[in-house]
Amino acid sequence: MVSVNDFVEKLSLKVISSSTQEHINIKSAELNRPGIQFTGYYEYFAYERPQVIGKVEMAYLDSLDDAERRRRLEEFFSYPIPCVVICRGMQPPKEMLDLARERDIPIYGTDWVTTRFFVNAISYLSIALAPHSTMHGVLLDVYGLGVLLTGESGVGKSEAALELVKRGHQLVADDVVDIKKVNENTLIGESPEAIRHFMEIRGIGIIDIRRMYGIGAVLSDKAIDLVIHLELWKESKTYDRLGLTDSYTDIMGVSVPEIVLPVRPGRNLAVVIEVAARNQGLKRLGYSAAGELDRRLKDMAKRQ
């Protein structure tokens, strides 16, 4: 289900004929052009998709006489269509408006050409209809990478995020991160609208990052490229000191690189997180500092 207001706003649509429904029953990020249906072929009709009418479909309807056009449209509107979108700023024939009102099916218009609307609509629906989940954490853009800070409450996630914002990085979400799986390998995180741009700092309370540091200090959403799990330093635990082995965590079926970062007094978490983000960026380009050091040591051993 997609909100009518969100659908109209995000795709810059004009409401030609409204509906009594507040949500549109769209189940997949696919569209249908009903040109072949207007000719009478209904053996295969993807009626569950938004129906997009372009120049070809409208020219065919205009070529029919009034009685035949109404008969074709009556058959078309007998299916539970979620909505109709008319491109190129064209206006629907009177028969289409009458039948849409009878069936309570909304009709929208756009000035975009059909191809451009297809691209924008599929992109929007892929995100709007993506499976989603909620996580406790802080999401930031650090050197272009989406870094998700996780850990127990009070470990210092928000304080580290605040220091990163002061150093020029961007906040996406604090405390609650809404995550959408837009494809098999990509997770997009954003903040719930009610708490967007706000951050909680213990001892101070709620602060507004956008008003305090400017619009450049916040982002609306970001792909998650790295998870950094903060935990209080445990003397009995052995932490990775070389980084030869990559670790991953599973989020909604997607494997995301993960680093466990121990926290103790005196550590500058913001600097360490920056280094982790830069290092991950190099790994994505195919370079591993730990792997390079391992190679040099092996070469030296061979020569000796």
Which residues form the catalytic set? 136, 157, 175, 241
Rounded Cα distance, 277 and 272, in Å: 9
26 contacts 6 by C-beta, under 8 angstroms: no
CA 253 to chain centre: 16
Q: How far is CA 191 from CA 102, 148, 159, 179, 223, in A?
A: 39, 12, 18, 9, 12
Which residues are registered as beta bridge partners of 258? Answer: 227, 247
6: nearest Cα among 187, 127, 183, 134: 127
156 contacts 229 by C-beta, under 8 angstroms: no
